[in-house]
Structure 1
Amino acid sequence: MTRRIIPVADWAPAQEAMYSEPSSSFSPSRGNPVLYEPIMPSYEARPRAINFSLLRRRPKSLVIESSDTNMAVPFLERHSHIRSESAFVGHSHASKPESSSSLRGIIRRASTSLRVKLHRRPTLTNSSISEEPYLEARPATAHATWHRLRQAASFRQQRPVYGESSEPPNHQLDHLTEAMAALPVPSIGGEPPIIPHNTGAAAKASVAEYLNLSGASSSDQESVSHGLRNKWLAHVPGEECGNDRESGIGITVAGSVSEADLTDSKRASLRTQDGTISRIDFITQLPTELAIQILSHLDASGLMTASQVSWDWRAAVANQHVWRESFLREKTATYATSGPIKPGAGLGVPTVKPSNNWREIYCAREELDRRWKRGEAKPVYLNGHLDSIYCLQFDEFKIITGSRDKTVRIWDMHTYECKLVIGPPEVLSDISVLIDESKQPVHYATLSNNQRVAHSMPALVSFPVHHKASILCLQYDDKILVTGSSDASCIVYKVNSGYRPIRRLRRHDAAVLDLVFDEKHIVTCSKDISICVWDRETGALLRRLRGHAGPVNAVQMRGNTIVSCSGDFRVKLWNIDTGKNIREFAGHTKGLACSQFSEDGRYIASAGNDKVIRIWDANTGECLREMKAHDGLVRSLHIDSVSGRLISGSYDTDIKVFDMESGSQLLDFPKWHASWVLSAKSDYRRIVSTGQDPKILILDFGAGVKGIEALESTERQGSDGGYI
């Protein structure tokens, strides 16, 4: 059976729609009047809406086609009385001339009967209403746009579907009751309207469309709104009869009520398509110990995000065990050490104590790392030395410096005050050591705005055993301080006895240029091109190493291995037990001034007068990286084995920071010294450098960071900080 769909714009007036081929003129002689009877429509009877009284207006006429001839015969048989009446009229007036008025009368009477017979509603069968096939609504013709609008908006009572009783068959009452629950009921009298949960989809689709067009939603919100909009506007067979498709009332959402009522796009985006997957808040369901153990595997960023999930998660994240485990895992990794950082070692990991606020400690460390990346540091200059400062070492609480003025001075890292001056009697007896010509203290700190702070009057100490020339090198630990001088000797001081000298080491024939020690040995190098190995406990000379052709300017030691560099362009590796030269590193084109050993002994850094820094593999002797670092002689190198940063100081007055792994330059502090940079070292928080100008430069990356003091490892011992 063929069917032609006629668009609304093509609907003809009712009278013209009754013919398949309208003609401009009509004559009864052109055919039998019976052939012009309306033909039954080609589509089947459509089930009515499942309502006791469906508000629908009877159509004016029917759109028919001449091609549907298979339906014409039953129709003519059922309405044979119409044909008889037409024939009788034609016979009685055979003697009269045929006129258009008599023909119009015949058609008018036939049309009247047709309207009565044609629109008889089919009765419902015993089959369930819900099982009826879906059919589109039949378009009804109308003579005017206003009439169609009035017909669509009419709420007048029409003939009930089920006849005069307005009652459905008993066997279908259950289906009708179930279907009625899904339809909206307008307010009647003082009663409020009843609106089912699955309606109002058009408004929701409009909101989703607005969010999509306005660009206010994120990518996941757009996907959710798009998906729900498609569900709201989906065409579901069998549901059109109860839907108002203009307003959206009654449009059934093809999904659950919870999906249709979603207001949080983030929550909707996390929904999985498989509804069988269980969704359990494991933090609240698991025992507290297990929840804390799971959360401790997150880093700081993950923990901050987790704390915003819910109050229960926030409470679990606030546990100090979570932050402690996360901090110790994330912040104890190192670049070139034999293992992770041990708490309390002075490397930015505090001693584990019950009173620690690990969340604050973690946040302070994160901010400190960000400042290192951005190069944000507070500069402070310490004044007091009277001549060039050749060497330094510092920790979290103090700085110890050695100068050409023959003195060793100890400074408080936090207050910037000078606490102690150790030197020969003839130097300390001069009042200029403490005050200047204007009677102002010579020991003070200068901030970036040239403001003078922390004026101090340090204690002056002179011992019978002292240096008579410049202090060129030094190193200390918690037990001893060792200094080397241009007077060709080294002095060992006992820290806990107020830095009293306990022995002098003599064997070199020229200035001691550098030194290093561990638990067993003290190693010194000299202008006399030799290296001496001493017993730390007794001060006895164990062996003297020779092999360089020029002054040995620097030494470092790791385990039983010594690395040295010289003005002969060579870097050499020695076995401390046998005294043999086990490897030589060639590549520099000019004399070397400094060398460094990584803590794990894998890498060696060297630099000098060729202005190039080279990184070597200590095991193979291969040059891993070459860095054109400075415009002048590179006088100082320091490897921070924890962070992998390499600090360099040069005669070009610049201080630079490089990445050991890639060789790239990270930071540059140009012209921060008025003259040559002679020494530069760093830890997790600061860079401290000295130069030919008698000032100590502190670049503090942690200044002003909340809780930065919590990263410090040990507490001060006594009011003097353990200096005297």
Structure 2
Amino acid sequence: MARPEELKEFVEQWKQEIHSSNHKEAAGPSGQGQNIRVQRTQGFSSVGSRWEGGAGSSKQQQQQQESLTEKSPPDRLSRPPSCNQDASNQHYPPFALADQLLQGETAESLLSGRHVVKRLRTDACAGPVSPGEAPEPRGNQHSLLEQLISDLDEINEIPFFEVSLPRELALQIFQHLSMEDLCRCAQVSSSWRSLADDEVLWQKVGRSLGCDLSAGGQKCKEVVKTHIETDRRVTSNWKSRVGQIDYLECAIGGFLSAVSSCGTHIVAGFSEGIVRLWDVLADENTPSVLLESTQEQAVCNVSVNPTVTVASFGNGDVSIWSTEHGGTPLHHFTLDQGGPPQICTCPGGAVVACARGSVVRVDSPDAVGVWHCRQNFSCDKKVSHLTLVQKGGPPNKALSDHLVVMATDYDVYAYRPHRLPEERHRFHSLYGAVVASLDATSERAAVASTCFGVSLEDVFKVQCYCLDTGKQLTSLRGHRGQVTCMDLRNSPPNMLVTGAEDKRVRVFDLRTPRPVLNQYSHPLGVSCVQMDDWKVVSGGREGALCVWDLRMQNKLWEMKPSKVHPIQYCRFGGPHLIAACYPTPSCSREDLMDQYRHQPDVKGRINVYDFSVDQTTQDVPDICKADYDEPEGYNYNISLAMPYDAV
């Protein structure tokens, strides 16, 4: 850009040349030169000026304007506009642009307006100019020198890329951009690319996407890129059912009786009192962890989180192990009342809630890691459902961050373990409406009940409540059978998936009463369901596993992991899908062994599907796995599933 001294010198030279040319034209014969000069200057104006001639101007005003223009001396025509004039200040391009931006106009509208003005200038300057064909005069006439100065001001309106900010301030601005906006900013210039590729910004993006940033030697942006590519490949493999399957069994454990999982950890309990723990990310040669137990009773329920693993037995005993180390139990106690104990943990924190009969107990470790009973109280009736949720953000061992949600025959309570048992809050109570299923998050609770109604749809309904206020948010209807399973904890915000004995899977948006997805899935009823932002996975009592696409509202694929037992547990996360098939407690094991002795999964089996592994390309030469997009290639540069297939 030119310096101010050079610009001033350039303007003065132009003034002198135009003044001299104006004097020569004024001294020409018969005054024609003056008329031509006046007509040529009528085709120019500043950016903010408007046409005041045309059909809307009277002939008298035009004649007065022409006479004033012809009589004015050249010095007066070439004089720049005064700063005291309001009209010139209003039409000064930088001020007009700033005023339009403050009024809320967008950059696209301003850019289109400037294109129109430039086109009008071009049309006004094009073609031969004669006194008879000249356009009608306008008000607020300016000379050629004034137009030149206006154009120079228009070029230097707002120098966006000339503004220099401290890097710390620029990073504070860039941290409010999304990942897509950071990628767009990196394409503007080298300085913006240096800001958009900052490690602090991409570390924040990686944490929001759940990337593993602990691995050293790799930039955060590359980690995010690899994570996104992996997610796309896993999604494609999910839809086309491309992956690897593994079977988890225990030959000496007897029949499989209980399964639970959290992340990559899977815990299973067997009829001989054996509890085993697997990690799906472990090497093939790494054996499962055998959790030591002196019990010979069948395992009734199991639960696991990254901190602790819990198992309950038929005689009322409850044992707690460390998920990381296993071995000897950290804590052990017994509940006296009859019935199999119910146990639950939450994904974060070392807090365990148990219920047997009408007795509810909450245990957690102290500051030095020694486990204690924090609460032990009795309810009015037998506890039928129990769940534990965490209030707040990151995992914490404090009891104040956890909430116990439990249901009896007709009532549902919410209770904080650090308070007195009498302070538990009852937010659902409907006499005669038996609670069939219960699930809760830190904000909401979903209760499925069976009650009396006018129509069949009113009998089997799901009611959602706010745990903070205890008020009912919505009532969902549509099922024509008892709701056997539902998932609110793992579903996207404001979404709920349910399965019932009417053989259908329904997906509800909590903001509307009608279901988003309603599909006939399993002929013997639905036993377990789960969903995420684009798919639904359901398991049936006939032993089939179905995957549904939410957007297309159709079935992607179906498989049958077991021909003997129903699918009683089904969970997925990322590239892994876990489906457990084992007999129900009411089945006679002797009859099963006599009838299905030839079946390999008669004792129950856990199926683990890994959709991050493409098993179709194993043991295939690299030459047959080339991509069409590679720059160099030859006749064999084709992506084939097997060597030398039909091309």
Q: TM-score, normalised by structure 1?
A: 0.47
Aligned to 1:304: 183
Q: After TM superposition, list the pairs within 5 Å mapping 1:114-263 onto structure 2.
A: 123-124=29-30, 129=34, 133-134=38-39, 227-234=117-124, 239-240=129-130
Give the % identical residues.
14
Give 3-state SS (helix, strand or coil) of 1:586's partner: strand
Which of 397, 410, 422 aligns to 1:580? It is 422
Aligned to 1:412: 279
Aligned to 2:320: 492
Displacement of 1:281: 0.8
Q: Structure 2: which 5+ residue stretches go unaligned?
A: 1-20, 41-77, 79-107, 136-143, 391-398, 451-458, 517-532, 545-565, 584-603, 615-647
Aligned to 2:469: 620
Amino acid at match of 2:199: Q
Give 3-state SS (helix, strand or coil) of 1:568's partner: coil
Displacement of 1:682: 5.9
Aligned to 2:377: 545
Distance 1:418 1:612 in 2: 48
In structure 2, the CA distance between the partners of 1:484 and 1:592, relative to structure 1 (3 Å rule), is farther
Q: Residues 94-141 of structure 1: CA distance to partner in whole angstroms, max 9, x if unpaired?
A: xxxxxxxxxxxxxxxxxxxxxxxxxxxx9355x974775549xxxxxx
Q: Structure 1: which 5+ residue stretches go unaligned?
A: 1-48, 53-121, 136-177, 179-217, 246-251, 261-272, 333-347, 423-460, 705-724
Aligned to 2:549: none
Tell me which protein shows more strand as a share of its residues.
2
Displacement of 1:492: 1.8
In structure 2, the CA distance between the partners of 1:354 and 1:503, relative to structure 1 (3 Å rule), is closer
Amino acid at match of 1:582: R
Distance 2:130 2:500 in 1: 85
Distance 2:151 2:467 in 1: 64
Displacement of 1:469: 0.7
Aligned to 1:475: 304
Displacement of 1:398: 3.0
User: Does structure 2 retain, via aligned residues, the 8 Å contact 1:472–1:513?
Assistant: yes
In structure 2, the CA distance between the partners of 1:606 and 1:377, relative to structure 1 (3 Å rule), is farther
Aligned to 1:383: 247
Q: Residues 132-180 of structure 1: CA distance to partner in whole angstroms, max 9, x if unpaired?
A: 5549xxxxxxxxxxxxxxxxxxxxxxxxxxxxxxxxxxxxxxxxxx9xx
Q: After TM superposition, list the pairs within 5 Å mapping 1:519-538 onto structure 2.
A: 522-526=352-356, 528-534=357-363, 536=365
Distance 1:661 1:375 in 2: 32
Q: Residues 47-85 of structure 1: CA distance to partner in whole angstroms, max 9, x if unpaired?
A: xx99x9xxxxxxxxxxxxxxxxxxxxxxxxxxxxxxxxx
Displacement of 1:626: 3.0
Amino acid at match of 1:409: R
Which of 253, 269, 277 aligns to 2:157? It is 277
Alignment of 1:633 with 2:462, yes or no, is no
Cα RMSD for the two superposed structures: 5.5
Displacement of 1:607: 3.4
In structure 2, the CA distance between the partners of 1:360 and 1:414, relative to structure 1 (3 Å rule), is same
Greater Rg over alpha carbons, structure: 1
Aligned to 1:360: 222
Greater mean deviation of Cα atoms: 665-674 or 490-499: 665-674
In structure 2, the CA distance between the partners of 1:613 and 1:306, relative to structure 1 (3 Å rule), is same
Distance 1:350 1:660 in 2: 33
Amino acid at match of 2:441: S
Distance 1:406 1:638 in 2: 31
Displacement of 1:221: 9.0
Displacement of 1:465: 1.6
In structure 2, the CA distance between the partners of 1:646 and 1:510, relative to structure 1 (3 Å rule), is same
Amino acid at match of 1:300: M
In structure 2, the CA distance between the partners of 1:418 and 1:567, relative to structure 1 (3 Å rule), is farther
In structure 2, the CA distance between the partners of 1:519 and 1:124, relative to structure 1 (3 Å rule), is closer
Displacement of 1:318: 2.2
Greater mean deviation of Cα atoms: 231-240 or 569-578: 231-240
Distance 1:660 1:349 in 2: 30
Amino acid at match of 1:669: V
Task: State how many pairs are aligned.
Answer: 432
Q: TM-score, normalised by structure 2?
A: 0.52
